[in-house]
């Protein structure tokens, strides 16, 4: 956890949390150890969506559909959400959750490898006002160029889990061998975001670390 635990606990105690089906889905994910965005990240994403009022959102990494459903709940009704997932075991559950939430018409669910789907979407001329990156962390850098092709000028790219539980600041030799590749790739990704002349990027110690990048050229 990146934040001071006592401060984080206090902040989360002020959050009324999710209710209804979204609250049930959140609890299911927690009970079954299915990856889900943390409460502080949920709140940040809600504020970004409500303040920027995007007309289109692309999510890279659906899991069971929790974050897509949450984003649909705070975006205006005409906002179209596209989400991508390749893990076959989660796809039927995500589809069922979108159906139960009454969001089948608002959420476009694309099955497939994100690298392939992003390229196809970019080549087709699709554009989005907000892109939420929450897929395989070691692939963020590989996705970046097509993500930027898909992002409208003035659009926002939000990337979750970029500080790797604080390991990002450690030497590669202080990281367990199995995590060294993803550690190196995430460092490259953060450097790319903060040095790309098309972007203005801030790195925030929220949840497990998040970047917010605005494309301005």
Total residue count of the chain as it appears in this document = 217
Q: Are 200 and 216 in contact (CB under 8 A)?
A: yes
In our burial notation (b when 16+ CB lie closer than 10 A, e otherwise), range 40-51 reads: bbbbbbeebbee
Tens-place pLDDT, residues 38-78: 898 999 999 999 999 999 999 999 999 999 999 999 999 99
Task: Say what the pLDDT of residue 137 is.
Answer: 81
Q: Is the pLDDT of residue 106 over 90?
A: yes
Rounded CA gap, 67 and 35, in Å? 11
**Residue 132, Cβ neighbours under 10 Å: how many?**
27
Please give the DSSP secondary-structure letter assigned to residue 121: H
> What confidence tens digit (pLDDT) does each residue in 67-102 have?
999 999 999 999 999 999 999 999 999 999 999 999
114-169 tens-digit pLDDT:
999 999 999 999 999 999 999 988 899 999 999 999 999 999 999 998 876 545 55
Is the Cβ–Cβ distance between 70 and 45 less than 8 Å?
A: yes
Look at the domain 5-215 and name its fold.
Answer: Rossmann fold (3.40.50)
């Amino acid at each position: 956890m990146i934040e001071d635990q006592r401060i984080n606990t206090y902040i989360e105690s002020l959050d009324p949390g999710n209710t209804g089906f979204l609250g049930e889905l959140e609890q299911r994910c927690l009970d079954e150890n299915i990856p889900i965005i943390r409460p502080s990240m949920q709140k940040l994403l809600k504020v970004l969506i409500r303040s920027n009022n995007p007309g289109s959102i692309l999510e890279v990494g659906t899991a069971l559909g929790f974050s897509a459903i949450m984003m649909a709940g705070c975006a205006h009704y005409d906002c179209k959400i596209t989400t991508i997932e390749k893990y076959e075991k989660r796809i039927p559950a995500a589809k069922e959750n979108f159906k139960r939430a009454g969001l089948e018409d608002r959420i476009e669910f694309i099955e497939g490898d994100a690298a392939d789907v992003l390229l196809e979407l970019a080549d087709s001329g699709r554009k989005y006002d907000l892109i939420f990156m929450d897929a395989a962390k070691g692939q963020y850098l590989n996705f970046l160029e097509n993500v930027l092709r898909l992002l409208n000028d003035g659009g926002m790219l939000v990337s979750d889990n970029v500080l790797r539980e604080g390991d990002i600041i450690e030497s590669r030799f202080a990281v367990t061998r199995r995590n060294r590749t993803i550690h190196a790739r995430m460092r490259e990704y953060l450097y790319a975001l903060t040095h790309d002349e098309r972007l203005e990027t801030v790195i925030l110690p929220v949840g497990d670390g998040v970047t917010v990048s605005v494309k301005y050229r």
